[in-house]
């Protein structure tokens, strides 16, 4: 893992995006639908899962 010392936010955003299959960083509003699903009564059968809403980060 590369050191993040003495770097800029833009350099780090570019680095992180490059490690994502979609080549971008997801926006906060993209996480909402999964949160709503998990909070809904219809998701009662979902238990013990790890659900990554990350656009394919470090797959």
Instruction: List pLDDT tens digits, range 38-55.
Output: 999 999 999 999 998 988
How is the chain split into domains, by residue range?
Answer: 1-59
Kindly report the number of other CB atoms within 10 A of residue 23's CB atom.
Answer: 11
In CATH, the architecture of 1-59 is: Orthogonal Bundle (1.10)
Looking at residue 4, its pLDDT comes to 56
Q: Where are the alpha helices (DSSP H) in the chain?
A: 9-18, 32-39
Q: Would the pTM of this model clear 0.75, i.e. be above it? A: no
pLDDT at residue 3, rounded to an integer: 60
Beta bridge partners of 57: 20
Q: How many CA atoms lie within 13 A of 50 on its CB side?
A: 1
| pLDDT interval class at 2 (50, 70, 90) | low
């Amino acid at each position: 893992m590369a050191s993040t010392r003495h770097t800029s936010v833009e350099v780090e955003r570019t680095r992180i995006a490059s490690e994502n299959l979609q080549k971008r960083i997801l926006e906060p509003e993209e996480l909402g639908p999964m949160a709503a699903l998990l909070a809904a009564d219809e998701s009662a059968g979902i238990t013990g899962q790890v659900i990554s809403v990350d656009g394919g980060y470090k797959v």
